[in-house]
Chain A
């Protein structure tokens, strides 16, 4: 798979100034019904199903291994969740876009 550098060498002039937001994912496991919308439509594929189940027997989402800093706090998982079972908050330690 090609990395971003292979696709194009052109970069916006303000690239060093641009900061990608970082988010923390919070899951309210007991509300989840395993519809999978948050997992499917996360733009950075942060979430996976857990192996554990909640009390109703659904596999709720959890942050994938190695993706702990990948959430960009776009809030799409929050907005599309029919159960209000997931939300993101902004992390204080924002990183540089190339960091």
Chain B
């Protein structure tokens, strides 16, 4: 076996044709999970078998919003919170396109929260990948709509006292056709879930738990990205097809609590103008 370690850029990754490789290495922090999500998304495009011209990637504002800038498909970096209405317009105008929204929990669930529930209610033909790192990472680690109770942030130095959204439960209640939650460690299951979403008409929602070592991990003593991912590995329990999504809240403070992941909802429902 040869080990090829090339310090020049002459070695290209086999998936580089789907990335804007000239912009790599990307600006995201060491240990950040967003890179893995982008990587899994382009792997899913590669395996989906449909021409990459038929794929559209839309993202909002935040660290996760950078995703649209690194994938080599038609991509749009929209204003804060408006990734979903923009993507909805694309999907309605041309139902042949596979439109994927990659954005963060702050963008999709806070300022874009209303767009989210209404896109799910309409069952718009969109695939939504929500990268959940439990805080507003880019602006310095403020408490967001998914910050677990007791978790610390810039705006909650004693720990958050707000109750967070339970994203799979919210998506199911709002009417999504496909709902899943994975972590960046479950790359194969996550890529498989993205592929299922691409093959499905209707609103498909996938939450990905991603480490944020620079902001969230540092303030909550979770260590480096590797330590946070190891915590997911120890605490995650896979429960595909779980019926009751209400107890799926995430407790970051109590390390004894399990985190339930899996493909939870897969129903057939008429998609919006698709």
- Selected interface stretch from B28-36, B168-176, B246-254: B28-36
Q: Chain B residues near A37: list those with CB within 8 A.
A: 36, 225-226, 229
**What is the interface residue range for chain B against chain A?**
35 or more
CA A25 – CA B11 in complex, angstroms?
A: 12
Tell me if A76 is interfacial: C-beta within 8 Å of chain B. yes
**What is the interface residue range for chain A against chain B?**
35 or more
Q: Which of B3, B11, B35, B39 has the most CB of A within 10 A?
A: B3
Tell me whether B7 and A83 are in contact (CB under 8 A).
Answer: no
Tell me whether B1 and A82 are in contact (CB under 8 A).
Answer: no
Tell me whether B13 and A30 are in contact (CB under 8 A).
Answer: no
Question: In chain B, what residue has the closest Cβ to A89?
Answer: B14
Question: In chain A, what residue has the closest Cβ to B187?
Answer: A79
Tell me if B239 is interfacial: C-beta within 8 Å of chain A. no
Q: Which of A36, A40, A80, A85 has the most CB of B within 10 A?
A: A80
Tell me if B19 is interfacial: C-beta within 8 Å of chain A. yes
Tell me whether B36 and A91 are in contact (CB under 8 A).
Answer: no
Q: Chain B residues near A45: list those with CB within 8 A.
A: none
Tell me if B256 is interfacial: C-beta within 8 Å of chain A. no
Q: Chain B residues near A23: list those with CB within 8 A.
A: 1
Would you list which residues of chain A between 28 and 42 have a CB under 8 Å from chain B?
Answer: 28-37, 40-41
Tell me whether A33 and B25 are in contact (CB under 8 A).
Answer: yes
Tell me whether A79 and B191 are in contact (CB under 8 A).
Answer: yes
Q: Chain A residues near B226: list those with CB within 8 A.
A: 35-37, 40
Would you list which residues of chain A between 4 and 32 have a CB under 8 Å from chain B?
Answer: 22-32
Tell me whether A35 and B225 are in contact (CB under 8 A).
Answer: yes
Tell me whether B16 and A84 are in contact (CB under 8 A).
Answer: yes
Tell me if B185 is interfacial: C-beta within 8 Å of chain A. yes
CA A31 – CA B25 in complex, angstroms?
A: 5
Tell me whether A30 and B40 are in contact (CB under 8 A).
Answer: no
Tell me if B53 is interfacial: C-beta within 8 Å of chain A. no
Residue in A32, A36, A56, A79 whose CB lies within 8 Å of B188: A79
Closest chain-B Cβ to A69's Cβ sits at a distance in Å of 5
Tell me whether B34 and A91 are in contact (CB under 8 A).
Answer: no
Given the interface pairs A80-B187, A84-B19, the reply to whether A62 lies near B3 with Cβ below 8 Å is yes
Q: Chain B residues near A35: list those with CB within 8 A.
A: 30-31, 224-226
Tell me if A58 is interfacial: C-beta within 8 Å of chain B. yes
Residue in B15, B25, B39, B229 whose CB lies within 8 Å of A30: B25
CA A32 – CA B149 in complex, angstroms?
A: 34
Would you list which residues of chain B between 171 and 201 have a CB under 8 Å from chain A?
Answer: 184-185, 187-188, 191
Tell me whether A54 and B7 are in contact (CB under 8 A).
Answer: yes
Residue in B4, B6, B8, B30 whose CB lies within 8 Å of A58: B30
CA A83 – CA B225 in complex, angstroms?
A: 14
Tell me whether A28 and B229 are in contact (CB under 8 A).
Answer: no
Tell me whether B39 and A82 are in contact (CB under 8 A).
Answer: yes
Tell me if B163 is interfacial: C-beta within 8 Å of chain A. no
Tell me whether A22 and B1 are in contact (CB under 8 A).
Answer: yes
Extra contacts besides A24-B1, A29-B7 (9): CB < 8 Å: A24-B3, A25-B1, A29-B5, A31-B25, A33-B25, A35-B224, A62-B5, A79-B191, A87-B14
Interface CB pairs A-B, < 8 A, 18:
A25-B1, A27-B4, A27-B5, A33-B30, A36-B226, A37-B36, A37-B225, A79-B40, A79-B188, A80-B36, A82-B28, A82-B39, A82-B184, A83-B25, A83-B26, A84-B21, A84-B35, A87-B13
User: Ordered nearest first, which 9 A-B pairs have the shortest CB separation?
Assistant: A82-B35, A33-B30, A79-B187, A35-B31, A63-B3, A84-B13, A31-B25, A82-B36, A68-B1
